[in-house]
Amino acid sequence: MTATIAGHCTARFAPVQEAFERNFNEGGEVGARVAVIERGDTVVDLWGGHADETAEQAWQEDTLVCSMSVSKGVVALCAHLLASRGLLDYDQPVAAYWPEFAAAGKERITVRQAISHQASLAFIDDAEPGDATDWTRFTRKIAAQRPNWAVGTEETYHSVTIGYITGEIVRRIDGRPIQQFIAEELAGPLGADFILGVGDEDFDRVAEQIPNPDNELMNGGLFNEKTTAMFTPMPPEAIGSRELVRYVFPSGSGVSNGLALAKLFAPFANGGEYKGVRLFTPEVIRLASEEQWHHPDSMFGNDFRVALGLLLNIDFNYWGKEGNVGTAGAGGYAAFADPDNGISYGYTPNRFNSGAGLGDQHRSLV
């Protein structure tokens, strides 16, 4: 489809605009926003298309969209913010901050393992549908759960539990719910339009997510006997429903746009600072970007390369080059930092990409 594109793009980054326009004209894009920040300057900020499947509502500058598992990476940034303040030690046991977590043989699991999908808590044995809508109930079940397998023998992407594990560690240290911490300590200071748990006042800004039968999440390609149990506690609304964003679901309901995500990762690209706001120390950025594991996921089978709650560059989650670090969401949502060049990037479409991974539209922009 031909779309009206708004925003701006500097001449040096003109290929990004060309690729963005081509995604609409040839790649099936419906609505999207892409942004690039270079050393504090927004050099690309483009949006276009429609916010709904019927093409009645234009994508606006303030349009938001559910960014799926990008939310996990944003929650991880909160942990790194606390580490930068000296309040969180990655190599301490989780139980040092969350005593109940020590139950069922988990007393030695470290924060490093927990936020890197290595705590063997991918699914909860007694989970019931909708558990993830009740923070207290679900985190209690996580704390009581025996590891799914011996820690260190197997690693898998914790699709649902990871946001709660990391978010509860943050809450135990700081005292505020994770959605409040994000708003007041991360998104707010950076001027990033990211919301976890959308209220009525912002709901009308949220774009529809448009299904794609060729996407592995939409067509069930990601589900098998092993992975189905992971998703049991999910909110009752199906993935792709706008109603999902009303929940505080830290593993997948945060709403944002391309510029918001580029702002959130700008400090990681610039030694911890963006426009005079310093959030992270260079040492924490270095530690957070270190590879923790890299191999096919034991339950999904997809290739993962995991840092401390973030993802490193591979073909599946393509960040352009070695040394870049970011976060990704099923459907094609992406954000990353390129510390070598002082660049951060955010991309938020509303039509799910085809296949697995981040898809051709994102890859063409990078």
DSSP state of 229: G
Q: What does the pLDDT read at residue 241?
A: 78
Q: Report the pLDDT value the prediction gives residue 222, as an integer from 0 to 100.
A: 62
Question: Sheet holding 31-38: strands in order across?
Answer: 5-9, 41-49, 31-38, 343-349, 333-338, 325-329, 311-312, 303-306, 293-296
Phi and psi at 6, nearest 5°, equal -120, 170
Host H or E run for residue 93: none
Please give the average per-residue pLDDT across 264-285, as a whole number. 98
Residue 363: what pLDDT? 73
What is the three-class DSSP state of 63?
coil
Mean pLDDT of 349-353: 81
**pLDDT number for residue 213:** 59
Residue with tokens 């011996």: 150
Type and span of the H or E element at 70: helix 70-84
Span of 26-35, 105-114, 357-366 with lowest mean pLDDT: 357-366
pLDDT at 96: 99
Q: Is the pLDDT of residue 234 over 90?
A: no
pTM score = 0.94
Task: Report in angstroms the alpha-carbon separations of 217 from 147, 242, 331, 347.
Answer: 26, 16, 8, 19
- Residue type, position 270, single letter: N
Angle at 338 between CA 294 and CA 312, to 5 degrees: 10
Per-residue HEC secondary structure of 150-214 comes to: CCCCCCCCCCCCHHHHHHHHHHHHHCCCHHHHHHHHHHHHHCCCCECCCCHHHHCCECCCECCCC
- Which residue is listed with tokens 């916010």? 51
In tens, the pLDDT along 137-196 reads 999 999 999 999 999 898 988 999 999 999 999 999 999 999 999 999 999 999 999 999
Cα–Cα dist 105/180, whole Å: 31
